[in-house]
A and B are shown apart, each in its own frame.
Chain A
Amino acid sequence: MNLILQGGRLFDPASGRDETGDLVIQEDKIRDLGPGIAAAGPGVLDCRGLIVCPGFIDLHVHLREPGQEYKETIESGTRAAAAGGFTAVCAMPNTHPVNDGAGATAYLIQRAKEIGAARVYPVGAITQGSRGEALAAIGAMRRAGAVALSDDGRPVMNGQILRRAMEYAARFGLPIVEHAEDLNLSAGGVMHEGAAALRLGLRGISAESEAAMVARDILLAERCGARLHIAHLSTAASVRLVAAAKARGVPVTAEVTPHHLTLTDEDIRDYDANFKMNPPLRAAADREAVIAALADGTIDAVATDHAPHAQHEKAQEFSRAPFGVIGLETALPLVLRLVAAGRLTLRRALDALTARPAQVFNLPGGRLEPGAVADVTVFAPQETWVCDPARGFSKSRNTPFAGQTLAGRVRHTIVAGRVVYSAG
């Protein structure tokens, strides 16, 4: 079965290709691409005026299955991914029960294949039950298909346990993904510690509670020669630490979320818990720092930290509502907002959604070239739409962007040569 994407702007951030042309898919691979290589005919998608780029890869999503299917399922989550242009998502292990073994890892991959919306790459737990004590079955999860290890939702507070995990994981080349938060420094906090938290009378989560953990983890990774990936990096201090570590050659990478790139603690209004996530929306200076770090490559990837919660859970007192916001279906326009503002080149923006995340977790995809997997996203960069979470594919609606007009809309998402999503 062939599919021809005709007349689009072929944009491959890794190679720098940016030209109008056609892309021919044969079975599940890209056969050829370039100007004027395909004629019209059956199996042709008209892509004139649209950008054709590698499928987006999200290093950080919470699919909630098993255990919290009322928030999200593998099916609803991967359909939301496809609608957002993501052809692959990395599923965090903090489900109920925690994914800390081969069985749960294999199930995720199998279930995602059955649904066929987006690829799912499981991230296995670092420790059993993510309790931070004994190591999880790292080798078995690797054999079952885990691409990285994390106790996300919480940090590995015991430095010695993390060190052992790094040493052991290095044998498999698995990145350790750290939710960097010193739980003693952040205890009781519900938003960024600063003037906005003082005004709202909410307990703060200091920037140092993240950066102190980033510093520790970099030192341990440097010692162990382990691959360290900092999840949802949010502060200027963490940026400085990662930049210095990269300059020394420490194998550290980092991701930033669309909401940390676009919002600050001053945006929290009327105690709306749809603005509550962890790490919290930071100060304006932190936002500036993560934008600059994304632009210069200190931060490698944009990852959504898609974290669905039911409406009744978010419609609570701010301090009682759970942390987290959904993000798969709004990521592209939010990143494009930075491009429109001149803060990011289109090439770097798309690189951070495709080729770089693929490299960070050593995943297939992320490139438009003959022979590559045919995971492709087609979007209209200028098309505007109003964010209405009730019309999204996610089961949950907890987004701070509801009601906003967003520019940039996914038109087609193609996974392994199959169109898994087309805008209605």
Chain B
Amino acid sequence: MGESQSRHLLGIAGLERPAIQALLDRAAAMQRRPPEKLLAGRRVLVLFYEPSTRTRTSFEVAARRLGAETVSVTASASSIEKGESLLDTVYTLRAMAVDAIIMRHGESGAPFLVARHVDVPVINAGDGMHEHPTQALLDAFTILRHKGRIAGLNVAIVGDILHSRVARSNLWLLSRFGARVRLCGPPSLLPAEFAALGAGIECHHQLEPALDGADVVMVLRIQMERMREAFFPSEAEYVHYYSVTAERLRLARPDAIVMHPGPMIRGVEIGAEVADSPQSVIREQVENGVLIRMAVLEQLLAPAEAAEKSA
């Protein structure tokens, strides 16, 4: 979809497998040898309409390591006027001679709107319930570090699938690379139509069969406001049926890794002993996030120079 997806990173759904592979390969190369400052003299706008210390910081660090200057604007700051339209804000900020816009927004599709109206690359850092492409890329990178492959793996994604942009980006990437994706959550948060979104996707409403023999267990945050919307009765009920505890994790393969995009709440969606176990790669996900985001920035802002260096 989209006129110019290749100029932007709006979502995994619009990316072909070779483009994804190239980003994963470049991140791996950067891990072996720190990249040069190919983006020196460039300015990147980090525009966040939702609070997220983790993702915003990760992008800022990635941009600076490549030599770029970052301008961070958050919704709470006075620079975004109350009631001003997204496009008016973007036009104003674009005038500050930025070379790319990294944006996080609470509404699905907001980066698509911006991408249609500006002449610089737009990187989606999470839009509503839609996509979080760099999260899926860093998750794939992390899985590859541990498993060496994605094809044929059983990956369980547990939690509030309906409202999760992380789940969507991951299911597209993983299914495109041949994994079996087992989505798991209460039926109210996991409509059956999810199975139609890609090849090899299963919907599970019970946790045990979803974990059985899994190679990767991805745990998603559960927001308690979903109770007020009657998606499930209480935190206690959720924990009882869907919390990934040490005991339940024993259903997965002994070498299974456990992932979480954060922020996580120990004792709710994930047992504390699981989060801190040797199987947990949650801290490593954070480190890999910077590598992936460097690869993305380099690919969109300095593709020619990057190709030269890696040749």
B113: contacting residue among A195, A200, A315, CB under 8 A: A315
Interface centre among A201, A270, A318 (most CB of B within 10 A): A201
In the bound assembly, the distance between CA atoms of A200 and B113 in angstroms comes to 13
A200 touches B2 (CB 8 A): no
B108: contacting residue among A194, A200, A316, CB under 8 A: A200
Shortest CB-to-CB span from A55 to chain B, Å, is 39
Q: Looking at chain B's contact residues, is the secondary structure mostly helix, strand, loop, or mixed?
A: mixed
Q: A194-B193, A195-B196, A195-B197 are in contact. Are A270 and B112 (CB under 8 A)?
A: yes
With CB as the reference atom, state the residue of chain B lying closest to A271. B109
Interface centre among A202, A270, A316 (most CB of B within 10 A): A270
* Interface residue? B168 (CB, 8 A): yes
Q: A194-B193, A270-B1, A319-B128 are in contact. Are A202 and B108 (CB under 8 A)?
A: yes
* Interface residue? A320 (CB, 8 A): yes
Interface size on B, residues (CB 8 A): 29
In the bound assembly, the distance between CA atoms of A318 and B86 in angstroms comes to 12
- When each residue 303-329 of chain A gets 1 if its CB lies under 8 Å from chain B and 0 otherwise, what string results? 000000000100111111000000000
A201 touches B131 (CB 8 A): yes
A319 touches B108 (CB 8 A): yes
With CB as the reference atom, state the residue of chain A lying closest to B111. A271
With CB as the reference atom, state the residue of chain B lying closest to A195. B193
- When each residue 12-50 of chain B gets 1 if its CB lies under 8 Å from chain A and 0 otherwise, what string results? 010000000000000000000000000000000000000
With CB as the reference atom, state the residue of chain A lying closest to B127. A201
- When each residue 84-109 of chain B gets 1 if its CB lies under 8 Å from chain A and 0 otherwise, what string results? 01110000000000000000010111
With CB as the reference atom, state the residue of chain A lying closest to B128. A201
* Interface residue? A269 (CB, 8 A): yes
* Interface residue? B191 (CB, 8 A): yes
Q: A316-B86, A318-B107, A318-B108 are in contact. Are A201 and B130 (CB under 8 A)?
A: yes
- When each residue 195-232 of chain A gets 1 if its CB lies under 8 Å from chain B and 0 otherwise, what string results? 10011111100000000000000000000000000000
In the bound assembly, the distance between CA atoms of A312 and B87 in angstroms comes to 9
Q: Which residues of B contact A270 (CB under 8 A)?
A: 1-3, 109, 112, 116
A317 touches B129 (CB 8 A): no
B85 touches A312 (CB 8 A): yes
Tally inter-chain residue pairs, CB-CB below 8 A.
Answer: 67
With CB as the reference atom, state the residue of chain B lying closest to A194. B193
In the bound assembly, the distance between CA atoms of A194 and B117 in angstroms comes to 29
Q: A271-B113, A319-B108 are in contact. Are A198 and B193 (CB under 8 A)?
A: yes
A201 touches B193 (CB 8 A): no
Shortest CB-to-CB span from A34 to chain B, Å, is 54
Shortest CB-to-CB span from A191 to chain B, Å, is 10
With CB as the reference atom, state the residue of chain B lying closest to A202. B108
B1: contacting residue among A269, A315, A317, CB under 8 A: A269
Q: A200-B130, A269-B1, A270-B116 are in contact. Are A317 and B13 (CB under 8 A)?
A: no
B105 touches A317 (CB 8 A): yes
* Interface residue? B165 (CB, 8 A): yes
B168 touches A201 (CB 8 A): yes
* Interface residue? B216 (CB, 8 A): no
In the bound assembly, the distance between CA atoms of A269 and B110 in angstroms comes to 13
B127 touches A315 (CB 8 A): no
A43-74 residues with Cβ-Cβ distance < 8 A to B are none
Shortest CB-to-CB span from A372 to chain B, Å, is 49
Shortest CB-to-CB span from A338 to chain B, Å, is 27
A201: contacting residue among B85, B108, B117, B191, CB under 8 A: B108
Q: A201-B131, A202-B129 are in contact. Are A317 and B110 (CB under 8 A)?
A: yes
In the bound assembly, the distance between CA atoms of A348 and B162 in angstroms comes to 43
Q: Which residues of B contact A194 (CB under 8 A)?
A: 193
Q: Which residues of A contact B110 (CB under 8 A)?
A: 271, 317
Shortest CB-to-CB span from B129 to chain A, Å, is 4
Shortest CB-to-CB span from B95 to chain A, Å, is 18
A316 touches B85 (CB 8 A): yes
* Interface residue? B194 (CB, 8 A): yes
Shortest CB-to-CB span from B164 to chain A, Å, is 9
Shortest CB-to-CB span from B113 to chain A, Å, is 6
Q: Which residues of A contact B108 (CB under 8 A)?
A: 200-202, 271, 317-319
Q: Which residues of A contact B116 (CB under 8 A)?
A: 270
Q: Which residues of B contact A202 (CB under 8 A)?
A: 108-109, 128-130
B129 touches A201 (CB 8 A): yes
Interface centre among B1, B105, B109, B193 (most CB of A within 10 A): B109
Shortest CB-to-CB span from B122 to chain A, Å, is 12
In the bound assembly, the distance between CA atoms of A402 and B165 in angstroms comes to 31
Shortest CB-to-CB span from B214 to chain A, Å, is 23
In the bound assembly, the distance between CA atoms of A341 and B91 in angstroms comes to 45
In the bound assembly, the distance between CA atoms of A195 and B193 in angstroms comes to 5
Q: Which residues of B contact A201 (CB under 8 A)?
A: 108-109, 127-131, 165, 168
With CB as the reference atom, state the residue of chain B lying closest to A193. B191
Shortest CB-to-CB span from B293 to chain A, Å, is 21
In the bound assembly, the distance between CA atoms of A299 and B196 in angstroms comes to 31
Q: Which residues of B contact A315 (CB under 8 A)?
A: 85, 87, 113, 117
Q: A198-B191, A201-B131, A269-B1 are in contact. Are A317 and B197 (CB under 8 A)?
A: no
Q: Which residues of B contact A195 (CB under 8 A)?
A: 193, 196-197
With CB as the reference atom, state the residue of chain B lying closest to A199. B197
In the bound assembly, the distance between CA atoms of A311 and B1 in angstroms comes to 22
In the bound assembly, the distance between CA atoms of A271 and B87 in angstroms comes to 14
A200 touches B109 (CB 8 A): yes
Interface centre among A194, A195, A198 (most CB of B within 10 A): A198
> Can you name 17 extra interface pairs (CB under 8 A) apart from A198-B194, A270-B1, A270-B116?
A194-B193, A195-B196, A198-B162, A198-B193, A199-B197, A201-B128, A203-B129, A270-B3, A271-B110, A271-B113, A312-B85, A317-B113, A318-B113, A319-B107, A319-B108, A319-B128, A320-B107
Of the A-B pairs whose beta carbons lie under 8 Å apart in the complex, a sample of 15, sorted by A's number, is: A195-B193, A198-B162, A198-B194, A201-B109, A201-B131, A202-B108, A269-B1, A271-B112, A271-B113, A315-B87, A315-B113, A317-B105, A318-B108, A318-B113, A319-B108
